Amino acid sequence: MLTNIEEQIKIITKGSDRLVGVDELKIKLERSIREKKPLIIKLGLDPSAPDIHLGHAVVLRKIKQMQDLGHKAVIVIGDFTGKIGDPTGKSKGRVALTDEQVKENAKTYTDQIIKILHPDQTEVRFNSEWLGELKLDDVIKLAATTTVARMLERDDFQNRYKSNVPIGVHEFFYPLMQAYDSVALKADIELGGTDQTFNILMGRNLQKTMGLEQQTALFMPILEGLDGKEKMSKSLGNYIGINEPHQVMFKKIMEIPDELIIKYYELATDEHPDKIKEIKNKLENGENPRDIKYELAKVITSLYHTPLDVEEAMNYYDTAFGRKSIPDNIPELIIDLDQDKLADIIPLLIRDKYIPSGSEFRRLITQGGVQINKESIVLEDLDMVLVCGDILKIGKKKFLKIIK
């Protein structure tokens, strides 16, 4: 276990949005080091979510980093509400999940989680274990710990109340149940997205009301998807699934906008904050973002695939898309329909200063320095007929597009 508290907090807060209860966290860490007892990190998960993507993984990665510091993760599968079904409305068709279905969903889920977390420092619990035992009198005591006004402060409730969209009284219970999970587990830290602020802070309050030590609340920001704008989500198609083939994962990471490189480093890798700072400096000092993103793609793909797979993904990417692929706005070269072999256009290339001479061009070809549509050519290819749209690459940086 890492005994430097400041260093632990540096790692814990890396990339985070907000930490509530930092003083308490220091006390907890101090005791944890003194008594050699790991902190309990809680994460609540809805068993309905199917495939985990890098957006979901933000909190999981953070937990993994805390496991590296010696702490213990408790994943709470919210099977209780799944089993009772959503009783809202009249749709009798919406049948509650059976025990088997819930367990099956949870298995699919934990199989993915284990790709990120350390299995021996991870406990998976189902909240029906304690929620299923609560009786009406416990529920009333639980409900008495908060007020209607406080509940209606929650953004979504407030909006619905103001615009007359019905809120079922039972909906007030979901935050309370999540809060009770923290009580049942005596959680030291709870993680969640910023959209979980209300519920996680309610856990803090409930622990206090019940005479327990309050959990520290760690909120992680939302990770934008490939489009760089919207929250990563399967339905928008802007996601990178952690179970995607290595080649797909690598290529997708190469597609994120440059502005997100550092955020992805912070939220989707386990790199040390100091390392990320260095990378940020490189970027600011004009290093090619594409090269840094290539590194990022390697780092992230390595988290979910074997070194051999990563190697394969890099090769595939280099071959299929060119490690340094084709820039936008390539100048066009208009050629005659009856002078359309590669050899025919050498004078035009000299004219437009792409090459100094025909012999130099031939030398470059023999060295593999000329590509047509990303494939290096040989001297025999001088006889090939160019078609409209062919991309010619000469040397390291000169591109041109054939138009005829």
Does 88 contact its own copies by CB under 8 A? yes
Does 172 contact its own copies by CB under 8 A? yes
Site string for its own copies, 138-157 (x = CB under 8 A): xxxxxxx-xxxx-xx----x
Residue (127 or 269) nearer to its own copies, CB: 127
Residues 1, 7 contacting (CB under 8 angstroms): no
Residues 331, 399 contacting (CB under 8 angstroms): yes
Q: What is the DSSP letter of 243?
A: T
Half-sphere exposure of 68 (CA within 13 A, CB side): 15
Residues 238, 53 contacting (CB under 8 angstroms): no
Site string for its own copies, 95-134 (x = CB under 8 A): ------------------------------------xxxx
Cα–Cα distance for residue pair 230/225, rounded to 1 Å? 6
Residue with structure tokens 């409209």?
388
Q: Choose the binding region for its own copies from 163-171, 255-263, 300-308, 369-377 (rule: CB under 8 A).
A: 163-171
Does 337 contact its own copies by CB under 8 A? no
Which two tokens mark 97? 């999940």
Which member of 50, 119, 168, 322 binds its own copies (CB under 8 A)?
A: 168
Query: What is the arrangement of strands in the sheet containing 72-77, beginning at the earlier edge strand?
Result: 18-20, 216-220, 189-193, 40-45, 72-77, 122-126
Which member of 12, 64, 75, 80 binds its own copies (CB under 8 A)?
A: 80
Does the annotation place 115 within a ligand binding site?
no
Q: Which residues does residue 190 pair with via DSSP β-bridges, in sequence order? A: 42, 217
Cα–Cα distance for residue pair 238/99, rounded to 1 Å? 33
- State how beta strands 375-376 and 370-372 pair: antiparallel
Least distance CB 50 / its own copies (angstroms) = 25
Residue (41 or 131) nearer to its own copies, CB: 131
Residue (179 or 349) nearer to its own copies, CB: 179
Which member of 31, 94, 107, 170 binds its own copies (CB under 8 A)?
A: 170
Question: Count of residues binding its own copies (CB under 8 A)?
Answer: 38
- Calculate the CA 315 to chain-centre distance: 24
Q: Choose the binding region for its own copies from 161-169, 228-236, 260-268, 391-399 (rule: CB under 8 A).
A: 161-169
Numbered residues of the known binding site for ATP? 234
Q: What are the residues binding its own copies (CB under 8 A)? A: 80, 83-84, 87-88, 131-144, 146-149, 151-152, 157, 161, 164, 166-173, 176-177
